[in-house]
Chains A and B, each alone.
Chain A
Amino acid sequence: MTREQLAAAAETLGAAADAASDASIADGLAEQADQFAMLAEADRGPDHGRLARHDRVLSNLAADADPETADAIESALEDIRAYRSTIEGV
């Protein structure tokens, strides 16, 4: 079962990585895109702790990115947070 919101985040991050002018940010986004592509298809979805780590990594990348890349990261974060709102936690 594909987790559509995580798959969408992976696609957005992959495109942002391809378009990013800063090499280190591009590498970081490509790594995150790969991670979310894997999480979208994994037998068991990620938990809150894992998603919180990704959220922080992406937020830190957005803080250093150009405005267009930052907007793309924010769009991916919206999908990730929408997915996160569907999983159980305390």
Chain B
Amino acid sequence: MSESEYANDVLVSADWVEEHLDEFQSDDPGLRLVEVDVDTEMYDEAHAPGALGFNWETQLCDQTRRDILDKADFEDLLGGHGIAPDSTVVLYGDNSNWFAAYTYWQFKYWGHDDVRLLNGGRDYWMDNDYPTTDEVPSFSAVEYAARGPFDGIRAYREDVQKAIERGIPLVDVRSPEEFKGEILAPPGLQETAQRGGHVPGARNISWADTVQPDGRFKTADDLREMYESNGVGNDQAVIAYCRIGERSSIAWFALHELLGYDDVKNYDGSWTEWGNLVGEPIETGSAD
């Protein structure tokens, strides 16, 4: 579609989206554009024409359990917004695409075949003066039947326990200060844990090192060199985690989708689960 140097054709450029804006605004469900934000005031003010707006907290998380959407809710969300099982869905959002990447991972978990990320997210779209509107689109509802779940891309606490025992690489994508246990969360972020530190044996490879200063992903060669130089290759399973599973979705996307690593899981429980578990070990300080 556009950024074809990667293992999978899952990343689209802002130029490509701009060229297809008429199709994104059409009631035909072939192409759908979705902005995923935590702060939905930004979507209300301005968004790409034709983009639907999803609120990560209220529409992409289960509202009673701490969990992703269940199958019925996922089907209702997509079908109700005119997204069909064979739609090509392009996701982008605030916070450097953190929650768009989480949504991408959730789409794959439920088996949506053709989903892509807009390279650079909302910041890149706005910074480079691509078209915007405050009009909220409305598309005819369609039937949506999800094929998933595909649990092979999701890690649970038992997978982390096994990874520790077996020496499977855990990629902690948080800041060095969080990894070392000096802070429980980045300044201003609310969800934390009882203890600071990291899962024993984890390597600290920041999500922010997967992107260029403008927020677009680094080249495949640069990504591969970064991960391999940190001992994370495609010769074994990998588990990525962060604090609540959103930043690690960026790393999961880079490893599994852009580099084509075969077995990469996102641990969406992440540090707010592991750091609160009774009886589980942690480490503090740097990985060295």
Interface residues of A (CB under 8 A from B): 31, 44, 47-50, 52-53, 55-57, 59, 81-82, 84-90
Residues of B near A87 (CB, < 8 A) are 188
A37: min CB distance to chain B, Å: 14
Contact with A53, one of B96, B189, B191 (Cβ below 8 angstroms):
B96
Is the pair B189, A48 in contact by a Cβ cutoff of 8 Å?
Answer: yes
Residues of A near B45 (CB, < 8 A) are 44
Is the pair A53, B188 in contact by a Cβ cutoff of 8 Å?
Answer: no
Chain B: interface size category: 20 to 34
CA separation between A87 and B190, bound complex, in Å? 11
Is the pair B209, A48 in contact by a Cβ cutoff of 8 Å?
Answer: no
7 further A-B contacts with Cβ under 8 Å, apart from A88-B188, A90-B189, A90-B190, are A48-B186, A49-B98, A53-B213, A56-B175, A57-B213, A86-B188, A88-B39
Is the pair A52, B190 in contact by a Cβ cutoff of 8 Å?
Answer: no
Query: Is B168 at the interface (CB under 8 A from chain A)?
Result: no
Query: Is B69 at the interface (CB under 8 A from chain A)?
Result: no
Residues of A near B186 (CB, < 8 A) are 48, 52, 84, 89
Residues of A near B207 (CB, < 8 A) are 52
CA separation between A83 and B56, bound complex, in Å? 24
12 cross-chain CB contacts under 8 A: A31-B213, A47-B39, A48-B188, A48-B189, A49-B123, A52-B207, A55-B175, A59-B176, A82-B187, A84-B188, A89-B186, A90-B56
Is the pair B38, A89 in contact by a Cβ cutoff of 8 Å?
Answer: yes
Residues of A near B209 (CB, < 8 A) are 56
Query: Is B248 at the interface (CB under 8 A from chain A)?
Result: no
B204: min CB distance to chain A, Å: 12
Residue of B nearest to A52 (CB): B208
Is the pair A90, B187 in contact by a Cβ cutoff of 8 Å?
Answer: no
Query: Is B97 at the interface (CB under 8 A from chain A)?
Result: yes
Contact with B187, one of A31, A53, A56, A85 (Cβ below 8 angstroms):
A85
Residues of B near A59 (CB, < 8 A) are 176
A-B complex: 4 closest residue pairs judged by Cβ atoms: A49-B96, A49-B95, A56-B208, A85-B187
Is the pair A89, B189 in contact by a Cβ cutoff of 8 Å?
Answer: yes
